[in-house]
Amino acid sequence: MSSCTRLLYFVKHRSLWAHVRRNVTTWSPVGAAFNAKPQRRQNLLEKNVGLFGVSELSCPAGFQAATETALRNTRRLVDKVISGPSGVETVESFDQLSDELCKVADLADFVKVAHPDPAFREAAEKSCIEIGTVVEKLNTNVELCNSLKKLLDNPDTVSQLDPDSRRVAELFMFDFEISGIHLDEKLRKEAVALHVKLLDLNNEFLVNSHQPNRIARSAIPEHLHLHFASEGSFIQVGGLHADSPDDLVREIAYRIYLYPNADLMKCLEELLKCRYKMAKLVGYESYAHRALKGTMAKTPETVMSFLQLLTDKLSDKTAKDFTMMSNMKKKLNPLNAELMPWDHPYLSGVLRAERFNIEPSLYSPYFSLGACMEGLNHLFSQLYGVSLMSEQPSAGEVWNEDVRKLAVVHETEGLFGYIYCDFFQRQNKPHQDCHFTIRGGRWLQEMGKYQLPVVVLMLSLPHPTQRAPTLLTPGMMENLFHEMGHAMHSMLGRTRYQHVTGTRCATDFAEVPSILMEYFASDYRVVSQFARHYETGQPLPKSMVARLCESKKVCGAADTQLQIFYAVLDQIYHSQPQNRSTTEILQEMQNKFYGLPYTPNTAWQQRFSHLIGYGAKYYSYLMSRAVASMVWKQCFVQDPLNREMGERYRREMLAHGGAKEPMQMVEGMLQRQPTMEEFVDALDSELNPNFETFLMDSES
């Protein structure tokens, strides 16, 4: 409680800070916290409060204790659900049960990948496995399922549920369904067997899709050996080397890395077959039909029509992009001029650099981490009236000294939640920008208050040096804004149930809040509020921001078309079984939806590891982007700092997490029903050049 009042005190006196800020080296609290080195903790006698303030987690062995407590509470709640009356209490108990398990499992999921101490990582991994096993058992607990079924099958009890409780009850039921629990004994056994088999196949595909391929050293020209790893008399190719300026290196990498691996292909074919069988068994037309239930798109037909419309709309722009790449290839290599799939990423980079001078080191002095954090703080206070307040973590609360803790505080409503910022590179830390939910928000009926959400944002930024704070490239700055979009979705969500907290929403909606932040990050009115040279205090020139925005449009249609091709492939693989191999399907879809020719004896799909986690939902990013683009253009482009729009956005979209139909949230925000054509137009129109930029450049 005391920390909360202290934070409110800070909020009330924030305006004072603005007045005393005379030069760039004085930041208000959040900026200062990120531009300074962390203070070394002196007091060794201070009590260890445990990771994230969970008292058991002051040592690795604490994971066992926390897991046991969670499992004990789970058993109690299972009994309560089974023996209790049918009604809203059933949904509440289910959510509480899920909260008990998630509280430990989500935290452990993070710790097992991010903690620098292997003992903590191992203990967390054990907890994950233990809880995973219990969840598997609960998913096949007939009595538990029946209590939910009883509730949902009775029109009287259903009619008494509020919309949120009903949706959450249906979501829990959806999880049960996949284990075939509602089927008769024989079919249920079949479903369980399929489920087990699928877990193995998923794992096998995930692991092997990242394995390098190898080839005899003698098979490739000697002067190229240095580009690849060696293994005795073999050369190992572990990736596409897509950015290599050497045509031949890219071609060799493409042909070898994607050379078909018979076992992997068999694994994929088997996996898709099992997914289809499973979906049919539990009552769906195809795996895609099941996966898309509850999403914004709702059906595979809608997804395919979106992808087809987008392809048609972009076709002229895509053709122009490929012509540009072809011409560039002719210029660079007149002898070997045909444009091939391995040229696309490299040549689009060359074209971008040639057209616009966007060398990252020109920008980064203006984007010190502290300045960017201050910019986010300022933006959020303008849009939602919330501030990011830097708070000193207690002893043992964080896993590494450089982790910062932010309290998210509303000007009148008080503390909203906590964001732990694990921003800096370190050994053994995954090199991945990521948002983790550590604790979901939910209404605590018994205590009459809200369980505050807790999240971690993980980035891999360079450390500050003696001479300079951490400086971000434009790409890093955009990623920071993107991840903060996820974090604010978690913080501003106020769902009654944690099962649908913040980012726990439909996959094709989940990226809307984060992509929307990318639009803010490229708008000069937002950027000019914080981008100052860390040494001179000079503001970032407007023409430089404009150039950055224009550069993203170079080859943008071709890049989008490549994503469409992948999304289509994912849809077809998860539709009804096709009487042809995954490679034959790939070849046809590549011709129809991409434009660059298929290369014989390659099988790109065996590297498509997103098929596991995103099965039938790879289109999600494109659709989220379309919605974010519409929201930006309709609601924020006029005035990106408009409080009224910020409030509407919070109320209509962010507050609901996954508790509301995603399309209803979009309609609430846009105040009308958008059409698929409008989605497509939004993505198309953002590729149109802005002629003002060229004028600005010719003036400067």
Measured CA to CA, the distance from residue 81 to residue 79 in angstroms comes to 6
Catalytic: 483? yes
- Helix/strand/coil for 420: strand
Write b or e for each residue in 165-180: b if 16 or more Cβ atoms lie within 10 A of its Cβ, otherwise e: bbbbbbbbbebbbbbb
Nearer to Zn ion, 501 or 514 (CB): 514
Nearer to Zn ion, 165 or 514 (CB): 514
- List the interface residues with Zn ion, window 188-217 (CB under 5 A): none
Q: Which of the ranges 57-65, 169-177, 514-522, 644-652 carries the binding residues for Zn ion, by CB under 5 A?
A: 514-522
Measured CA to CA, the distance from residue 645 to residue 650 in angstroms comes to 8
Tell which residue, 109, 115, 120, 122, has the closest CA to residue 428: 115
Q: Which of the ranges 285-293, 366-374, 446-454, 506-514 carries the binding residues for Zn ion, by CB under 5 A?
A: 506-514
Tell which residue, 435, 535, 549, has the closest CA to residue 481: 435
User: What minimum distance in Å lies between the beta carbon of 460 and Zn ion?
Assistant: 15
Nearer to Zn ion, 554 or 623 (CB): 623
Tell which residue, 124, 117, 111, has the closest CA to residue 52: 111
Q: Are the C-beta atoms of residues 287 and 527 closer than 8 Å to each other?
A: no
User: What minimum distance in Å lies between the beta carbon of 514 and Zn ion?
Assistant: 4
Q: Which of the ranges 359-367, 443-451, 511-519, 673-681 carries the binding residues for Zn ion, by CB under 5 A?
A: 511-519
Nearer to Zn ion, 251 or 511 (CB): 511
Q: Are the C-beta atoms of residues 484 and 448 closer than 8 Å to each other?
A: no
User: What minimum distance in Å lies between the beta carbon of 482 and Zn ion?
Assistant: 6
Q: Which of the ranges 159-167, 192-200, 364-372, 512-520 carries the binding residues for Zn ion, by CB under 5 A?
A: 512-520
Q: Which of the ranges 31-39, 84-92, 509-517, 652-660 carries the binding residues for Zn ion, by CB under 5 A?
A: 509-517
| Number of amino acids touching Zn ion (CB under 5 A) | 1
Q: Tell me which residue has its CB nearest to Zn ion.
A: 514
Q: Are the C-beta atoms of residues 381 and 643 closer than 8 Å to each other?
A: no
Q: Which of the ranges 39-47, 93-101, 389-397, 507-515 carries the binding residues for Zn ion, by CB under 5 A?
A: 507-515
H/E element, 94 = helix 88-114
Is 514 a residue that touches Zn ion (CB under 5 A)?
A: yes
Q: Which one-letter DSSP state was computed for residue 419?
A: E
User: What minimum distance in Å lies between the beta carbon of 483 and Zn ion?
Assistant: 7
Q: Which one-letter DSSP state was computed for residue 388?
A: E
- List the interface residues with Zn ion, window 303-322 (CB under 5 A): none
DSSP code string of 216-233: EGGGS-GGGGGGSEEETT
Nearer to Zn ion, 377 or 514 (CB): 514
CB within 8 A of 279, min separation 6: which ones?
285, 286, 287, 289, 290
Number of H helices, E strands in the chain: 30, 10
User: What minimum distance in Å lies between the beta carbon of 61 and Zn ion?
Assistant: 34
CA 319 to chain centre: 30
Dihedral angle over CA of 486, 487, 492, 493, nearest 10: 60
Is 503 a residue that touches Zn ion (CB under 5 A)?
A: no
Nearer to Zn ion, 93 or 514 (CB): 514
Angle at 272 between CA 131 and CA 568, to 5 degrees: 110
Q: Which one-letter DSSP state was computed for residue 594?
A: T
Q: 391, 483, 518, 550: which is the annotated catalytic residue?
A: 483
User: What minimum distance in Å lies between the beta carbon of 57 and Zn ion?
Assistant: 27
User: What minimum distance in Å lies between the beta carbon of 486 and Zn ion?
Assistant: 6
Tell which residue, 288, 312, 301, 294, has the closest CA to residue 683: 312
Nearer to Zn ion, 96 or 514 (CB): 514
Nearer to Zn ion, 11 or 506 (CB): 506
Q: Which two tokens stand for residue 353?
A: 């650099």
Q: What number of other Cβ atoms are within 10 A of residue 462's Cβ?
A: 16
User: What minimum distance in Å lies between the beta carbon of 183 and Zn ion?
Assistant: 36
- Using CB under 5 A, list all residues that contact Zn ion: 514
Question: Which residues participate in catalysis according to the annotation?
Answer: 483
